[in-house]
Amino acid sequence: MQDMTAKVVTNPKGWTLPSKDQIDSLSGGESGSSIYLSNFLPVLGGYYNNGTLNGESNIGFWWGATMYDGAVRYSLDYNGSNLYTYSITRHRGYYIRCIQAS
């Protein structure tokens, strides 16, 4: 049986998770945009929920650094044609994509 225990990962030196403002500037906010797709080069990869991979062929999600509240964090979402800013509970297994710290 595979160990599904959450692992603590630290950012490489000089890199960080994007803030909500940085995600919004890339995604166009909650309404979504395709303007920066060629800059971000997203790939479809789905997400883990309760140990099961879901949506691997039609969606992609990346965690951001900004909390919405104690149980919800902002993320960058990709539906195959647009990027969106989204907020979701932290129990989901999303990907991490660091950006260079300024």
Structure confidence by residue, pLDDT tens digits, 72-90: 999 999 999 999 999 988 7
Is 92 among the domain residues? yes
Is 1 among the domain residues? no
Is 6 among the domain residues? no
Task: Write b or e for each residue in 54-84: b if 16 or more Cβ atoms lie within 10 A of its Cβ, otherwise e.
Answer: eeeeebbbbbbbbebeeeebbbbbbeeebbb
Name the pTM for this structure: 0.79
Band (66; pLDDT cuts 50, 70, 90) = very high
Q: Which residues pair with 60 in a beta bridge?
A: 46, 78
Is 78 among the domain residues? yes
Is 83 among the domain residues? yes
Q: Residue 8 CB: number of other CB atoms within 10 A?
A: 4
The domain of 93 spans 15-100
DSSP symbols for 13-59: TTEEPPPHHHHHHHH-GGG-BSTTHHHH-----BEEETTEEE-TTT-
Structure confidence by residue, pLDDT tens digits, 1-23: 455 555 556 778 889 999 999 99
Structural domain total, the chain: 1
